[in-house]
A and B are shown apart, each in its own frame.
Chain A
Amino acid sequence: AQSVAQPEDQVNVAEGNPLTVKCTYSVSGNPYLFWYVQYPNRGLQFLLKYITGDNLVKGSYGFEAEFNKSQTSFHLKKPSALVSDSALYFCAVRDKRGQNFVFGPGTRLSVLP
């Protein structure tokens, strides 16, 4: 069965500093991996995905994520955080045969001015 872990409930970072939101996954075979962001009172918005190829994936709003197969991780990163990045971030996985997405528990990112 597929599963996703986000080990940190909350991440605090100062504006301008780099940020990392962690994600590890478990899936049979090669995974499809996704990051979504949820701003207050909004639905989830797609940020980026890893399907195949380059392990470093670039997405919306300056975010990127690095796929590490040996560590089964897909951490979300941004070189310089903005206050407006404060939101709830969800990692998701889907195996290549599966229909459904499985979402992690979410990590609340707070960027402090």
Chain B
Amino acid sequence: SAVISQKPSRDICQRGTSLTIQCQVDSQVTMMFWYRQQPGQSLTLIATANQGSEATYESGFVIDKFPISRPNLTFSTLTVSNMSPEDSSIYLCSVEGVQGLTNIQYFGAGTRLSVL
């Protein structure tokens, strides 16, 4: 299994500012994933971050709004830029690990973001 640490665990931010969320894994992983969980809803994949290449964004998410860095195999950051109240969500970092015949996803505890 993988141990994932996310910082900050929560933050309250003002409209128009940006927040960078850090994700640290205790082992080297090829792919890291960033999800958004809006209040009362399920997880939506924002992007997949591979080390040494540009992140791959899902439909509805763009790099200007959610820039991602992946400087090495154990670390990634997600920035939520020019925030508005609609960005208030839990942001989750995830990695894949092999268990038996397939991969499963391991998640960090999440960053709970409130935008005023």
Contacts and interface: CB of A to CB of B under 8 A. Distances in A.
- Looking at B42, B45, B107, the one whose CB has the most chain A CB atoms below 10 A away is B42
Contacts, number: 45
Given A90-B43, A105-B42, A46 B106 contact: yes
Contacts of A51: 100-102
Given A32-B102, A103-B42, A43 B109 contact: yes
Interface residues of A, number: 20
Interface residues of B, number: 20
A90 B42 CA distance: 8
A99 B48 contact: yes
- Looking at B99, B102, B106, B112, the one whose CB has the most chain A CB atoms below 10 A away is B102
Contacts of A41: 109, 112
Contact of A46 (B43, B101, B105, B112): B105
Contacts of A43: 4, 6, 92, 107-110
Nearest to A53: B101
Given A41-B112, A43-B109, A44-B107, A106 B42 contact: yes
Interface string A43-73: 1111001011000000000000000000000
Given A43-B108, A43-B109, A105-B41, 17 more contacts: A34-B104, A41-B109, A42-B109, A43-B6, A44-B92, A46-B105, A49-B99, A49-B100, A49-B102, A49-B104, A51-B101, A51-B102, A90-B42, A103-B43, A105-B42, A106-B41, A106-B42
Interface of B: 4, 6, 41-43, 45, 48, 92, 99-102, 104-110, 112
In the complex, the 8 A-B pairs of residues with the closest C-beta atoms, listed nearest first = A43-B107, A44-B107, A43-B109, A103-B43, A105-B42, A103-B42, A51-B101, A43-B110
Interface of A: 32, 34, 36, 41-46, 49, 51-52, 90, 99-101, 103-106
13 contacts: A36-B107, A41-B109, A41-B112, A43-B92, A43-B109, A43-B110, A46-B99, A46-B104, A49-B104, A100-B45, A100-B48, A103-B42, A106-B42
